[in-house]
């Protein structure tokens, strides 16, 4: 691949390194933990300002609330904040979708709220890598495209969603709808810790178990009680025993809440678990097992179990079109001297949901760094402009049609 046609734009990105770092730092200092609606709105506000030079059609979109089962086993609705959609060149023949999330895993109560330099090229901070740096990379790559002569050849939609860290339950509809209008997807999650890109990804589901029994005095009348804690422990043991029974499927019972005074037989217990899958059929298998196990518990007199939740991330498997897109990215990487390697991962993201719509997706185009989802999170600072150049080169190549469109699903218009 000859870079000379793109050199001006690539040089422009290099000149933006300090501006990219400033923007990343500014975004990281605004807390936008999932469900911190004010913080998420403020991050959205800043992003719209950064995106102004793109002259795209902008829209803030209200989402349905997050449905959560609380510790009393009751359904609660919680607002997640607004998503943002940007569109440019909707008339272009080639259409792509770019996604990034506004939220982080750090709530306003978390002690990790500030930036700290670990060395000249490592900046620690909440969300610097996952994924405020990624958002800045995406915007600068798009700015480079829009400055170039290839801009008119590629139409794009950007979705910034506020609920990715809890599985995008409220924004999934928006992403799915946008994926239907696009021929491929790009997501700006961080590179894997060794700098590689995520290939296949496992699917994921989150479930809540609500066990109700019957309260009784522990001393006077224990026999008439039905102990919800014991029953739910039995269920969870049986559930955990499913680990190892089907290749690629894992179950993690993660949280438990139940009981009350020590002289009372507990009538309520709530537990939560996560399931990871390798194939779409695994979801059906898990559902069957859950039905069998809950039927057994519900046979017991005076006890009832309800299972809430479900699968939010289908497994992402690599299609021929995905391989072709990966090969194009590798070509871009080798022209820029950026190694492009692929690793399968058990982690999942919005790339899973986009791939489930039948279009190829690359979902780790964001910043390099490490320690994400912990107070050790850090950004490799010079990766900002490097990775923006990589995405920009991919965008130029897509705009110029350097991908075999035979393999791409045709747009339904």
Give the span between the Cα atoms of 301 and 103, in whole angstroms. Answer: 44
DSSP 45-94: HHHHHHHGGG--EEEEE--PPEEEE-TTS-EEEE----EEEEEE-TTSSE
**142 Cβ partners below 8 Å, 6+ apart?**
51, 54, 98, 156, 158, 395
User: Which CA distances in Å does 192 have to 35, 197, 346, 363, 387?
Assistant: 26, 6, 12, 11, 13
Q: Which is nearer to Zn ion, 130 or 283 (CB)?
A: 130
Yes or no: say if 189 and 362 are a contact pair by the CB < 8 Å rule. no
The active-site residue out of 103, 130, 146, 163 is 103
Rule CB under 5 A: is residue 350 a binding residue for Zn ion? no
Q: How far is the CB of 223 from Zn ion (least distance, A)?
A: 51
User: Which range of residues in 42-50, 123-131, 166-174, 299-307 is near Zn ion by CB under 5 A?
Assistant: 123-131
Q: Which stretch binds Zn ion (CB under 5 A): 75-83, 137-145, 183-191, 220-228?
A: 183-191
Closest distance of CB 127 from Zn ion, Å: 9
Choices 52-60, 186-194, 287-295, 318-326 (CB under 5 A): range interacting with Zn ion? 186-194
Question: Which of residues 41, 103, 130, 163 is near Zn ion by CB under 5 A?
Answer: 130
Using CA atoms, how far residue 169 sits from 57, 64, 172, 309, in Å, is: 25, 9, 6, 10
Kindly tell me which of 253 and 366 has the beta carbon lying closer to Zn ion.
366
Spatial separation of the C-alpha atoms in residues 286 and 40, rounded to whole Å: 34
Rounded to the nearest whole angstrom, what is the least distance from the CB of residue 203 to Zn ion in the complex? 17
Rounded to a whole number of angstroms, the minimum distance from the CB of residue 100 to Zn ion is 8
Query: Which of 221, 305, 225, 219 is closest to 265 using CA atoms?
Result: 225
CA atoms within 13 A of residue 323's CA, in its CB half-sphere: 5
Strand-pair partners of 60: 84
Residue number, nearest CB to Zn ion: 130
Region of 28 on the Ramachandran plot (φ > 0 left; ψ -120 to 50 alpha; else beta): alpha
Q: Which two tokens stand for residue 111?
A: 């002690």
Q: Taking CA 311 as the corner, what is the angle to CA 192 and CA 32, rounded to the nearest 5 degrees?
A: 55
Please say which residue, 367 or 403, places its beta carbon nearer to Zn ion: 367
Cross-strand bridge partners of residue 277: 203
Q: How far is the CB of 164 from Zn ion (least distance, A)?
A: 6
Nearer to Zn ion, 163 or 282 (CB): 163
Query: Does residue 131 bind Zn ion (CB under 5 A)?
Result: yes
* By the rule CB under 5 A, 348 interacts with Zn ion: no
Closest contact distance (angstroms) between CB of 384 and Zn ion is 16
Q: Is the distance from CB of 165 to CB of 308 less than 8 angstroms? A: no
- Residue 363 in contact with Zn ion, rule: CB under 5 A: no
Cβ proximity to Zn ion: between 126 and 253 the closer is 126
Report the residue number, 372 or 398, with the smaller CB distance to Zn ion. Answer: 372
Smallest gap, in angstroms, from Cβ of residue 190 to Zn ion?
7
Which of 231, 307, 301 lies closest to 265 in space, CA to CA? 231
103 labelled catalytic = yes
377 is a contact residue toward Zn ion (CB under 5 A): no
Contact stretch for Zn ion (CB under 5 A) within 182-190, 253-261, 326-334, 351-359: 182-190
267 binding Zn ion? (CB under 5 A): no
Comparing CB distances to Zn ion, the nearer of 187 and 321 is: 187
Q: Bridge-partner residues for 305, per DSSP? A: 211
CB 180 within 8 A of CB 413: no
- Select which of 9, 164, 267, 363 is catalytic: 164
Q: Which residues bind Zn ion (CB under 5 A)?
A: 130-131, 189
Q: Which residues are known to be catalytic? A: 103, 164
């Amino acid at each position: 691949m000859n870079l000379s046609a793109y050199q001006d734009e690539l040089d422009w990105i290099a000149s933006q390194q300090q501006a990219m770092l400033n923007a990343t730092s500014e975004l990281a200092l605004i807390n936008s933990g999932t469900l911190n609606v004010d913080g998420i709105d403020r991050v959205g506000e800043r992003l719209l300002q950064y995106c102004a030079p793109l002259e795209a059609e902008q829209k803030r979109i209200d989402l349905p609330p997050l449905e959560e089962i609380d510790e009393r086993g009751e359904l609660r609705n919680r607002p997640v904040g607004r998503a943002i959609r940007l569109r440019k060149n909707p008339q272009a023949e080639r259409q792509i979708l770019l996604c990034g999330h506004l939220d982080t895993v750090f709530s306003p109560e978390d002690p990790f709220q500030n930036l700290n330099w670990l060395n000249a090229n490592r900046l620690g901070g909440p969300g610097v890598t996952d994924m405020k740096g990624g958002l800045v990379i995406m915007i600068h790559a798009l700015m480079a495209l829009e400055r170039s002569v290839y801009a008119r050849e590629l139409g794009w939609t950007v979705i910034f969603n506020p609920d990715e860290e809890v599985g995008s339950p409220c924004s999934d509809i928006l992403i799915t709808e946008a994926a239907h209008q696009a021929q491929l997807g790009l997501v700006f999650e961080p590179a894997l810790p060794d700098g590689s890109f995520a290939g296949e990804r496992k699917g994921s589901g989150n479930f809540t178990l609500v066990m109700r029994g019957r309260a009784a005095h522990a001393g006077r009348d224990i026999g008439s009680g039905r102990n919800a804690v014991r029953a739910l422990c039995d269920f969870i043991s049986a559930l955990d025993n499913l680990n190892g029974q089907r290749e690629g499927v894992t179950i993690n019972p993660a949280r438990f809440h139940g009981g009350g005074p020590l002289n009372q037989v507990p009538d309520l217990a709530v537990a939560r678990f996560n399931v990871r899958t390798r194939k779409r059929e695994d979801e059906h298998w898990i559902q069957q097992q859950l039905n069998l196990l809950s039927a057994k518990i519900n046979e017991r007199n005076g006890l009832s179990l309800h299972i809430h939740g479900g699968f939010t991330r289908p497994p992402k498997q690599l299609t021929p079109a995905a391989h072709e897109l990966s090969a194009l990215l590798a070509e871009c990487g080798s022209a820029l001297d950026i190694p492009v390697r692929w690793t399968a991962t058990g982690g999942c993201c919005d790339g899973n949901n986009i791939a489930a719509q039948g279009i190829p997706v690359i979902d780790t185009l964001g910043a390099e760094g490490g320690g994400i989802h912990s107070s050790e999170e850090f950004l490799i600072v010079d990766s900002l402009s490097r990775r923006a150049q990589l995405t920009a080169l991919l965008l130029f190549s897509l705009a110029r049609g350097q991908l075999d469109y035979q393999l791409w699903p045709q747009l339904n218009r």
